Structure 1
Amino acid sequence: MPYPSKQADTTAPSITRETIPDEQWNDWRWHMRKRINTAEKARQWINLTADEEKAMAETAGKYRWSITPYYASLMDPDDPLCPVRQQAVPALSELMEHTGADIDPVGDMFYRKTNRVVHKYPDRAILLVTETCPVYCRHCTRKFHTTEVDGTYFEKNEGEDLDDDLRYIAEHPEIRDVLLTGGDPLSYRDDRLEEIISGLRAIPSVEIIRIGSRFPVLLPQRITDELCAMLARYHPVWLNTHFNHPKEITPEAERAIDRLLGHGIPVGNQTVLLRGVNDDVATMRFLMTELLRIRVRPYYLYHCDNVTGVSHFMTSVEKGWEIMEGLQGHITGFGVPQYVLTTRLGKIPMAQPCHRLTSEGLVLRNYKGQEMVVDSAACPLTEADLDRDPAAREKGRDRK
Structure 2
Amino acid sequence: MSGTPGEHDTTTDPAGFRPRVPAAEWNDWRWHMRKRINTTDKARRWLRLTADEEKAIAASAGKYRWSITPYYASLMDPDDPACPVRLQAVPAPGELERFPGTDVDPVGDTYYRKTNRVVHKYPDRVIMLVTEACPVYCRHCTRKFHTTDVTGTYFRDDEGGSFDEDLRYIADHPEIRDVLLTGGDPLSYQDGKLEEIVSGLRAIPSVEIIRIGSRFPVLLPQRITDDLCAMLARHHPVWLNTHFNHPKEITPESAAAVDRLLRHGVPVGNQTVLLRGINDDVTTMRTLMTELLRIRVRPYYLYHCDNVTGVAHFMTSVEKGWEIMEGLQGHITGFAVPQYVLTTRIGKIPIARPYFTPTADGLLLRNYRGEEMVVGTAVHPITEPDAR
Q: TM-score, normalised by structure 2?
A: 0.95
Question: 1:136·1:147 contact (CA, 8 Å) conserved in 2?
Answer: no
**Aligned CA distance change for structure 1 residues 344 and 301 (closer, same or farther; 3 Å):** same
Structure 2 partner of 1:34: 35
**Aligned CA distance change for structure 1 residues 362 and 278 (closer, same or farther; 3 Å):** same
Structure 2 partner of 1:281: 282
Secondary structure of 2:54's partner? helix
Structure 1 partner of 2:222: 221
Question: 1:285·1:327 contact (CA, 8 Å) conserved in 2?
Answer: yes
Structure 1 partner of 2:5: none
Structure 2 partner of 1:3: none
Question: 2:244·2:271 contact (CA, 8 Å) conserved in 1?
Answer: yes
Structure 2 partner of 1:394: none
Structure 2 partner of 1:327: 328
Structure 2 partner of 1:359: 360
State how far apart, in whole Å, the 2-side matches of 1:126 and 1:257 are: 23
Structure 2 partner of 1:15: 18
Question: 2:222·2:257 contact (CA, 8 Å) conserved in 1?
Answer: yes
Structure 2 partner of 1:44: 45
Q: State the 1:146 CA deviation.
A: 3.4
Once the two structures are superposed, residues 144-189 of structure 1 have per-residue CA deviations (whole angstroms, 9 ceiling, x without a partner) of 1233433423221111010111111110111000000000000000
Structure 1 partner of 2:166: 165
Secondary structure of 2:58's partner? helix
Structure 2 partner of 1:374: 375
In structure 1, the gaps of 5 or more residues are 1-9, 389-400
Structure 2 partner of 1:76: 77
Q: TM-score, normalised by structure 1?
A: 0.92
State how far apart, in whole Å, the 1-side matches of 2:31 and 2:240 are: 24
Question: 1:225·1:259 contact (CA, 8 Å) conserved in 2?
Answer: yes
Range 333-342 or range 148-157, more displaced: 148-157
Once the two structures are superposed, residues 55-99 of structure 1 have per-residue CA deviations (whole angstroms, 9 ceiling, x without a partner) of 000011010000000000000000000000000000010011000
Structure 1 partner of 2:6: none
Structure 2 partner of 1:190: 191
Secondary structure of 2:64's partner? coil
Aligned counterparts, 1:1-400, within 5 A: 12=15, 14-16=17-19, 19-384=20-385
State how far apart, in whole Å, the 1-side matches of 2:34 and 2:382 are: 61
Question: 1:213·1:240 contact (CA, 8 Å) conserved in 2?
Answer: yes
Secondary structure of 2:81's partner? coil
Secondary structure of 1:77's partner? coil
State how far apart, in whole Å, the 1-side matches of 2:269 and 2:322 are: 22
- The one-letter code of the counterpart of 1:63 is Y
**Aligned CA distance change for structure 1 residues 379 and 82 (closer, same or farther; 3 Å):** same
Secondary structure of 2:240's partner? strand
Once the two structures are superposed, residues 298-336 of structure 1 have per-residue CA deviations (whole angstroms, 9 ceiling, x without a partner) of 000000000000000000000000000000000010000
State how far apart, in whole Å, the 2-side matches of 1:274 and 1:13 are: 31
State how far apart, in whole Å, the 1-side matches of 2:288 and 2:244 are: 8
State how far apart, in whole Å, the 2-side matches of 1:316 and 1:207 are: 38
Give the RMSD, CA atoms, in angstroms: 1.3
Question: 1:300·1:338 contact (CA, 8 Å) conserved in 2?
Answer: yes
Secondary structure of 2:309's partner? coil
- The one-letter code of the counterpart of 2:17 is S
State how far apart, in whole Å, the 2-side matches of 1:24 and 1:119 are: 41
User: What is the total number of aligned residue pairs between the two structures?
Assistant: 376
Question: 2:362·2:381 contact (CA, 8 Å) conserved in 1?
Answer: no
Question: 1:13·1:43 contact (CA, 8 Å) conserved in 2?
Answer: no
Once the two structures are superposed, residues 37-62 of structure 1 have per-residue CA deviations (whole angstroms, 9 ceiling, x without a partner) of 00000000000000000000001101
Question: 1:13·1:77 contact (CA, 8 Å) conserved in 2?
Answer: no
State how far apart, in whole Å, the 1-side matches of 2:353 and 2:59 are: 40
Secondary structure of 1:127's partner? strand
Question: 1:31·1:70 contact (CA, 8 Å) conserved in 2?
Answer: yes
- The one-letter code of the counterpart of 1:161 is S
State how far apart, in whole Å, the 1-side matches of 2:136 and 2:310 are: 16
State how far apart, in whole Å, the 1-side matches of 2:333 and 2:282 are: 15
Q: State the 1:14 CA deviation.
A: 2.8
**Aligned CA distance change for structure 1 residues 324 and 30 (closer, same or farther; 3 Å):** same
Once the two structures are superposed, residues 232-252 of structure 1 have per-residue CA deviations (whole angstroms, 9 ceiling, x without a partner) of 000000000000000000000
Secondary structure of 2:255's partner? helix
- The one-letter code of the counterpart of 1:350 is I
- Over the matched positions of the two proteins, sequence identity in percent amounts to 79
Range 149-158 or range 242-251, more displaced: 149-158
Secondary structure of 2:342's partner? strand
State how far apart, in whole Å, the 2-side matches of 1:151 and 1:32 are: 22
**Aligned CA distance change for structure 1 residues 241 and 33 (closer, same or farther; 3 Å):** same
State how far apart, in whole Å, the 1-side matches of 2:153 and 2:332 are: 42
Question: 1:302·1:341 contact (CA, 8 Å) conserved in 2?
Answer: yes
Range 151-160 or range 315-324, more displaced: 151-160
State how far apart, in whole Å, the 2-side matches of 1:232 and 1:293 are: 23
Once the two structures are superposed, residues 182-225 of structure 1 have per-residue CA deviations (whole angstroms, 9 ceiling, x without a partner) of 00000000000000000101111101000000000000000000
- The one-letter code of the counterpart of 2:219 is L
- The one-letter code of the counterpart of 1:347 is K
State how far apart, in whole Å, the 2-side matches of 1:13 and 1:174 are: 57
